[in-house]
Copies of this chain bind each other. A is one copy, B any other.
Amino acid sequence: MKSLKEKILKEGVAIGTEIVKVDHFLNHRLDVKFLEEVGAEFKKRFKDDEINKILTVEASGIAVASLTAPYFDYAPVVFAKKAAPNTMTEGFYVAEAKSFTKGTVSLLRVSERFLKEGDKVLIIDDFLAHGQASLALADLVEQAGGKVVGVGAVIEKGFQGGSERLRAKGYRVESLAVIDNIEEGRIIFK
């Protein structure tokens, strides 16, 4: 997605060799008009697929998923939670997601009421890095007996191997911008 790459180059900041900071439009401040274009692009990539649910994880995935849903006939969005809230009194599916950047392991949870057998799920996230969050989300879908139609990431850090891990498990991956490398503060796309 050309406009996304231009935006990353214009507004993104490379930190060290592994981190791209895009908090001007994606992770802290949200450019909603632009994220609608991102949603339209996901629709273009998955236009022939039957999708009845969009799954993401709090927090940064929520805006992207919410602004993508209108293009998929307002498919319900479900966001996995990283902590068990006091209102989550019933059963839930749970999967582990390791964060390499933070050095922590999160437990992602979705209520059993919101993922069902036969669901055709598009997984959406802001970043695809090592792929741990997406693998955990796919695990939740499959625990429920649903099918992962694909994984859509706004930005993929290609050098961290997430898409290879997902494809090795048979999942289709569509990343709207793939960063190949970060060299001396420069972001280099594939």
Contact = CB atoms under 8 A, between A and B. Distances in A.
Q: Report the copy number of this chain in the oligomer.
A: 2
Given A35-B66, A63-B63, A66-B67, A89 B15 contact: yes
A21 B29 CA distance: 28
A23 B102 CA distance: 28
A1 interface: no
Interface in A76-111: 76-79, 81, 85-89, 101-102, 110-111
A69 B35 CA distance: 11
Interface string A4-45: 000000000001000101011001111111011000000000
B23 A66 contact: no
A114 interface: yes
A141 interface: no
Contacts of A70: 32-33, 36
Given A19-B87, A87-B15, A29 B114 contact: yes
Residue of A78, A79, A102, A110 ringed by the most chain B CB atoms within 10 A: A79
Interface residues of A, number: 40
SS class, residues of chain A in contact with chain B: mixed
Interface of A: 15, 19, 21, 23-24, 27-33, 35-36, 58-59, 62-63, 65-67, 69-70, 74, 76-79, 81, 85-89, 101-102, 110-111, 113-114
21 contacts: A15-B87, A19-B86, A19-B87, A23-B88, A23-B111, A24-B113, A28-B78, A28-B81, A28-B88, A28-B111, A28-B114, A29-B77, A29-B78, A29-B111, A30-B65, A30-B76, A30-B79, A32-B70, A35-B66, A63-B66, A67-B67
Given A27-B85, A62-B62, 16 more contacts: A19-B86, A27-B87, A28-B110, A28-B111, A29-B78, A29-B113, A30-B76, A30-B77, A32-B66, A32-B76, A35-B66, A36-B70, A59-B81, A62-B63, A66-B66, A86-B102
